[in-house]
Structure 1
């Protein structure tokens, strides 16, 4: 039997109850214990940071010295993630020197890792927008103005 005062259903109550509702919900023949036991162990923040350093080093190695014969060969790609959204930086590279697909894959990997670390560490940021740089070719080298 329920006793006491009945209160309104609030969004906070919904958030607090959601894990229990999901765990008790129908449609799944497996138990919560089975699902949890088969989950991949989470990485630590230190492991993510170490992986980020390796991916960043690979990205910088792939970019090398962004030499180009024409500014049309110069590109900037977003890399990293601010806690409240958007890239944390841009990397300038040259399609004459770098494999564009590899640069894109490495930048996306770095961004995903930084997102993961931000969530894990409950990171906050200024929420300022990092705008794509204007690219120029100076002395045969791609660079941001």
Structure 2
């Protein structure tokens, strides 16, 4: 049944392509004035697709000049100081954040912290900065690393402390 539906969809797509190519060959080339008018006509349709409440994804930042291992070490120390208090009352206060960048891709580690004692926005901002610095450092020094994907761990409040739970993640990739 599945193969039959795939074959049907493929034949419909190919038939549609055939009609488009025959229509294109029968049409004449539009003048330069018509080409200029087309983007203006398409603009209102594009506005309908974008809603004002949706934030755009941030573009990657350019590679930083001369990032040293000492800079990265200092940022890691700041993050450790910011997240050292892992006391919690509920599991909802335990958060996990990806930190760093492996040369082969993906984060170099995950940090578990409590949003009861640490500001989540500050932790995310610092983790993002570390990731950017490590990515730049890796590119500048042409580093290679193991191409192993780290699975995002879970966190749980156990005896009023946030702890990392490995091999129990709901997010595999």
TM-score by length of 2: 0.56
More relative contact order, 1 or 2 (CA 8 Å, 6+ apart)? 1
Q: Which runs of 5+ in 2 are unaligned?
A: 1-63, 166-173
> Match of 2:22?
none
> Match of 2:149?
129
The size of the alignment, in residue pairs, is 102
Q: Which runs of 5+ in 1 are unaligned?
A: 1-40
Q: Does 1:76 align with 2:99?
A: no
Secondary structure of 1:128's match? coil
Q: Does 1:59 align with 2:79?
A: yes
Q: For 1:140 and 1:101, how far apart are their aligned partners in 2?
A: 22
Q: Does 1:115 align with 2:135?
A: yes
> In the TM superposition, what is the alpha-carbon distance from 1:53 to its structure 2 partner?
1.2
Q: For 2:156 and 2:139, how far apart are their aligned partners in 1?
A: 35
Q: For 1:100 and 1:42, how far apart are their aligned partners in 2?
A: 28
Show structure 1 runs of 4+ deviating over 3 A.
none
Q: For 1:42 and 1:108, how far apart are their aligned partners in 2?
A: 17
Aligned-residue Cα RMSD (Å) equals 1.4
TM-score by length of 1: 0.67
> Match of 1:42?
65
Match for residue 121 of structure 2 among 73, 78, 101: 101
> In the TM superposition, what is the alpha-carbon distance from 1:42 to its structure 2 partner?
3.3
